[in-house]
Structure 1
Amino acid sequence: MSSTEIASNIDTPDGKAEGLALLRRMWSRRSTAPRHLVPPGPTDDEIRMLVRAASRAPDHMRLKPFRFLVIAPDARDPLADVFEAAERELDPGIMGERLERAREKALHAPTLLAVISRVQDNDDVPEIEQRASAGAALGYVVLAADLLGYGAMAVSGRKVATQAMRRAFELAGNEELLCFIGIGTRAKAKGAPPEPDSDLLCTWPPV
């Protein structure tokens, strides 16, 4: 039985109806590539709402091992220069169409956020927990964007770990650029997502 069918068979007391409606929205979420996102993007107030959603990610001892940067609209061309520098760092021989495509990626999506992971020095919260928290925070952002009616997608690749990126975003020694999130209005309707794989949930110990 699919998750949608399960939900349709659940009795919904008043306290659960709203939650089930949100679950159905979550189940329908699909990433939309930044090149397919057009204006309008979220307003400044809506961006703050997205970050507020991110702040509710699981966070042992409230270390906030993540932060976000909004790429200003007039910073897209400088960002394209950074993307080019990052690609040249990875492949000094890059040129022509490949280089143009690398630059164009900085111009996609009306709203672009950079997600910064920052591992705090704390004996009680291991690094893997803090990185998981940052991952949860970015997941909350793309989900919240969908709930506001926008399309969104997290994009990364090898370039986010380059020195060109580190310098451009002035990252501290304990920080890494985790990814970018493109947000905007979908140029076309999203399709139905596939049902989750059956191996996502098992019982322990195995029978």
Structure 2
Amino acid sequence: MVRRKYAVCFIDDQEDEIARFRRELGERFTIGAGTSIDMALNDLKTHGRSEPDLFLVDLYFSAGPSNLPDPPATLNRARADLLAAEANFYSVLAQLRQTPDEGFRMARELQGSHSQPVVIFTRKGTLDNAIRAYEDEKVSAVIKKPDPPINQEETFTSSDLAKLYDEAFANEADHISSVIESIIRRSTWWAKHRTMMLGIAASFVVGVVSSLVVSLSLAL
């Protein structure tokens, strides 16, 4: 029997991240994706699924227009710099007015309106962001987007860097898929109630055995 593919709703503000996710994981999951919750859910419906098994949410979204020229290229250059100078990267994020606030807001909205697990999927998130995600926002998990190995002495164009991220995602696709499936399995009704159901089953068996013992005693 062929198992139906899990459905994943992926929300990210960058089209290249969405395309990368579809390309590498489209054979493993039924994917609905978009830059907003509604867009992702509507996209999922076009693939024959009305609700996902899991929401996967990017963390950093633009809080408004940026004064920097060519923001995507600036961000890509900053990502490369992150591997050499993390402090510089977060300075650029501040200039781009990218914050985790919208990602956290979406996580809260989804948890308030859906029963499926909500997972943060981020490359820019810090340890403090992850702690907040678990302790304050109560998400099911935080998954880090793959980073490529970068030679600090090399200079990369935006196109070169995009290819490196494509390769990094492809290399980690099996691991990401495994983590997503594990989270979905843990959130199923059986997983949540396994202990209770085993207890009920054990009580039932004990009750049946006790009844048999009493019946045999009376028969003797």
TM-score by length of 1: 0.25
Larger relative helix fraction: 2
TM-score by length of 2: 0.24
